[in-house]
Amino acid sequence: MPPQTAKQFLDFEKPVLELAARIEDLRAAYENKETVAEKDLLSEISRLEIRLARVARLLYRHLTPVQKLQVARHPERPQGPDYIAQLVTDFVPLEGDRRFGADAALIGGIGRWQGQTPCVVLANDKGKDTASRIAKNFGMPKPEGYRKAQRLMHLAEKFQLPLMTLVDTPGAYPGIDAEERGQAEAIATCLETLLNLTVPVVSVITGEGGSGGALALATANRVLMLEHSVYSVISPEGCAAILWKEANKDTIPQAADALKLTAQHLHELKIIEEIIKEPVGGAHSDSGLAIQRVGQAVGKHVLDLRSQQANGQNLQAQRRGRFLALA
């Protein structure tokens, strides 16, 4: 279904918005008994709903990279806490890096994936409104967030638990305070730690996968992406500002095309293993279904990796080989 439950429409969704508004007007007229021709009214509503579904399917089937970027950044897109609430039972959050403090941009803890598989989970949290987005730094972790991630990675290794990471970040926080506390070192150590784990590691790009800040959580045996998520070394805005000295409505789409940041491009380039299909209208149009599909996909890959491990496959060597092959 099209994004009827979403409160905010994107600019390219104007055809969907117009049809949805017309349907709502007709429903209101029917409920208020404003016309005697109720049968005709119901027939018109049904006809428009069919048309709306068709228009939305066609629209989302042919999104440009910059339009996919808009969907990936949609403010109503499911966040880390939404995935954890639906997919991880008995979740016990762990806070702090034991050096400086806690980081609200990155959630981590232990639990049971879909009520079955004991696991360690890491997930970005961008926040849902202005206050929470500021508190969570718009999902951009600082060094203490990445060092908390390292704690949880070591915990997964110690107890031989699979590690699942749900990535949705514009990138690591680039502020002066983060640099003073060793942002680059924290990211590099995350990469090193992930490459040394012997347990299954599965990562999903659920929204934005921004540069090294995302890679620090996605150096996995299997990397999956939601259908309309993006993953790149730099944002299109940043790329446009560097290449054309200006980020505007003309240069940003050019940069998005050149970066090959969509799930479809990255799957063709063999940088990711699987694309998880989103509901028509994006993950925000039916969060429950989108989250369910993520849960099933991750569970399938963890089961496969455990089977390989049981048959003598060295997952550490496989993970290292996977990334060396991309060079």
Over the stretch 59-113, which tens digit does the pLDDT of each residue have?
Answer: 888 899 999 999 999 999 999 999 999 999 999 999 988 889 888 999 999 999 9
Q: Which helix (H) or strand (E) holds 202?
A: strand 201-210
Query: What is the model's pLDDT at position 42?
Result: 75
29-53: per-residue pLDDT in tens?
A: 767 665 556 666 777 777 877 877 8
Name the pairing type of β-strands 274-276 and 88-93. Answer: unpaired
Same domain, 174 and 311: yes
**What CA–CA distances, in Å, run from 237 to 72, 210, 255, 273?**
15, 12, 8, 27
Q: Which of 22-26, 58-62, 295-299 has the lowest mean pLDDT?
A: 22-26
Q: What 3-state class would DSSP assign to 124?
A: strand
Retrieve residue 84's tokens.
Answer: 């954890």
Same domain, 132 and 26: no
- Mean pLDDT, residues 292-298 taken together: 96
Q: Which of 202, 225, 216 is nearest to 283 (CA)?
A: 225
Sign of CA dihedral 134, 206, 210, 214: positive
Same domain, 284 and 308: yes
- Mean pLDDT, residues 290-304 taken together: 96
165-181: per-residue pLDDT in tens?
A: 999 999 999 999 999 99
CA distance 265 to 231: 10
CA distance 172 to 183: 8
Query: What is the model's pLDDT at position 312?
Result: 81
Same domain, 121 and 238: yes
Q: Is the pLDDT of residue 313 over 80?
A: yes
Categorize the per-residue pLDDT at 9 as very low, low, confident or very high, splitting at 50, 70 and 90. confident
Query: What is the model's pLDDT at position 217?
Result: 96
- Mean pLDDT, residues 277-286 taken together: 92
Retrieve residue 239's tokens.
Answer: 């790329």
Q: One-letter amino acid identity for 302?
A: V
Query: What is the model's pLDDT at position 38?
Result: 63
| Sequence-distant (≥ 6) Cβ neighbours of residue 55 within 8 angstroms | 2, 15, 16, 19
In a domain, 6, yes or no: no
Domain count within the chain:
2
Query: What is the model's pLDDT at position 213?
Result: 92
Query: What is the model's pLDDT at position 17?
Result: 79
Retrieve residue 277's tokens.
Answer: 């299909």
Q: Which of 35-39, 121-125, 213-217 has the lowest mean pLDDT?
A: 35-39
Q: Which helix (H) or strand (E) holds 230?
A: strand 230-232
- How far is the first Cα of the chain from the last one, in angstroms, to the nearest whole number? 40
Q: Is the pLDDT of residue 268 over 70?
A: yes
Query: What is the model's pLDDT at position 305?
Result: 95
Same domain, 34 and 149: no
Same domain, 48 and 108: no
CB atoms within 10 A of CB 270: 10
Query: What is the model's pLDDT at position 4?
Result: 44
Query: What is the model's pLDDT at position 230?
Result: 97
Between these two residues, 62 and 231, which has the higher pLDDT value? 231
223 close to 249: Cβ distance less than 8 angstroms: no
Same domain, 134 and 267: yes
CA distance 78 to 291: 8
Same domain, 42 and 77: no
Same domain, 300 and 208: yes
Domain hosting residue 317, numbered range: 70-324
User: What is the CATH number for 109?
Assistant: 3.90.226.10
How distant is the alpha carbon of residue 322 from its chain centre? 21
Q: Is the pLDDT of residue 20 over 70?
A: yes
Q: Is the pLDDT of residue 2 over 50?
A: no
- Mean pLDDT, residues 2-31 taken together: 72
User: Locate tokens 């993520």: which residue?
Assistant: 294
Query: What is the model's pLDDT at position 98?
Result: 87
Same domain, 111 and 205: yes
Same domain, 250 and 315: yes
Query: What is the model's pLDDT at position 37?
Result: 63
- Residues in the chain, total: 327
